[in-house]
C-alpha cells in the first residue's frame, strides 16, 4: 500500500498564489476577448465630452492616476521601511495608502470603460497594441493585488511585487496614451 506524502507547509501558500495568478489571467483574458469582439463606438462621449476633447480629458485623468500611483509607491515604501530617512510609518500611512488606492482605482474606471467601449482592444500599431493589452492586464493585476493584500502566509516579496507591477502598468498606460497625446500624437523617441 502506497503512503500518501504529507503536504508541505508551503503547499497552501503556493496553491493560493497559483489561484491568484489564474484569477488575474482570467480577468485579463476576459477583458481582452471582450475588447477584440466588441464593435467600437468611436462617437462615445465621456462625461459629456466627445471628439478630440475626450483624448484631452482622458489624458488629464490618466495623469492624475499616474500621480496617485506614484504616491501609492511612496506610501508603500514608507510602510515597508524602504524610504530613506523616513523612519517608521505611522498607522495613518496605511489608511492613507488604502484610501488613495481606492480613489486611484475609481479614477481608472471611466477611462477604461470609455476605452473599451469606444475603441475596444486594437492592434493597429505597436503603441495601440501595447496600450490595449496593458489596459486589460492592469485589471488582472489589480484583482491579484486585492486577493493578495490580505494573505498573511505568502512570501513577503509577493505583495510588493504585485504593487510594483501595478505602478509599472500605470506608467506604461500613461506613456502610451497621455504622453502620446501631450506630445502632439507622438511618443518621445
Domain coordinates in residue numbering, the chain:
49-182
Hey, what's the cell of 151? 494573505
Residue among 25, 129, 163, 59 at smallest CA distance from 120: 129
More confident residue, 9 or 106: 106
C-alpha 68/C-alpha 137 separation (Å) is 19
Hey, what's the cell of 131? 496600450
Residues with Cβ < 8 Å from 128, sequence gap 6 or more? Answer: 122, 176
Hey, what's the cell of 29? 483574458
Q: Which residues pair with 46 in a beta bridge?
A: 49
C-alpha 24/C-alpha 54 separation (Å) is 29
Could you read off the pLDDT of 39-54 as tens digits, one per residue?
999 999 999 998 889 9
CB distance 138 to 104 below 8 Å: no
Could you read off the pLDDT of 93-110 as tens digits, one per residue?
999 999 999 999 999 999
Give the mean model confidence (pLDDT) for residues 163-174.
Answer: 97
DSSP letters, 136-175, are HHHHHHHHHHHHHHT-SSS-TTHHHHHHHHHHHHHHHHHI
Place of cell 486589460: 136
pLDDT value, residue 3: 57
pLDDT band at 10 (very low <50, low <70, confident <90, very high): low
Hey, what's the cell of 135? 489596459
Amino acid at each position: 500500500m502506497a503512503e500518501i506524502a504529507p503536504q508541505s507547509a508551503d503547499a497552501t501558500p503556493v496553491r493560493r498564489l497559483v489561484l491568484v495568478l489564474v484569477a488575474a489571467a482570467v480577468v485579463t483574458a476576459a477583458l481582452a476577448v471582450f475588447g477584440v469582439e466588441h464593435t467600437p463606438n468611436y462617437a462615445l462621449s465621456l462625461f459629456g465630452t466627445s471628439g478630440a476633447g475626450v483624448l484631452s480629458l482622458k489624458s488629464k485623468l490618466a495623469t492624475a492616476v499616474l500621480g496617485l500611483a506614484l504616491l501609492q509607491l511612496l506610501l508603500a515604501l514608507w510602510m515597508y521601511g524602504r524610504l530613506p530617512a523616513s523612519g517608521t510609518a505611522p498607522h495613518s500611512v496605511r489608511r492613507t495608502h488604502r484610501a488613495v488606492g481606492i480613489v486611484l482605482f475609481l479614477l481608472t474606471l471611466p477611462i477604461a470603460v470609455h476605452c473599451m467601449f469606444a475603441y475596444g482592444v486594437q492592434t493597429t500599431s505597436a503603441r495601440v497594441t501595447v496600450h490595449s493589452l496593458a489596459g486589460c492586464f492592469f485589471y488582472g493585476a489589480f484583482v491579484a493585488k486585492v486577493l493578495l493584500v490580505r494573505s498573511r502566509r505568502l512570501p513577503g516579496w509577493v505583495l510588493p511585487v504585485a504593487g510594483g507591477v501595478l505602478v509599472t502598468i500605470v506608467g506604461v498606460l500613461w506613456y502610451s496614451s497621455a504622453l502620446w497625446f501631450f506630445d502632439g500624437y507622438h511618443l518621445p523617441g
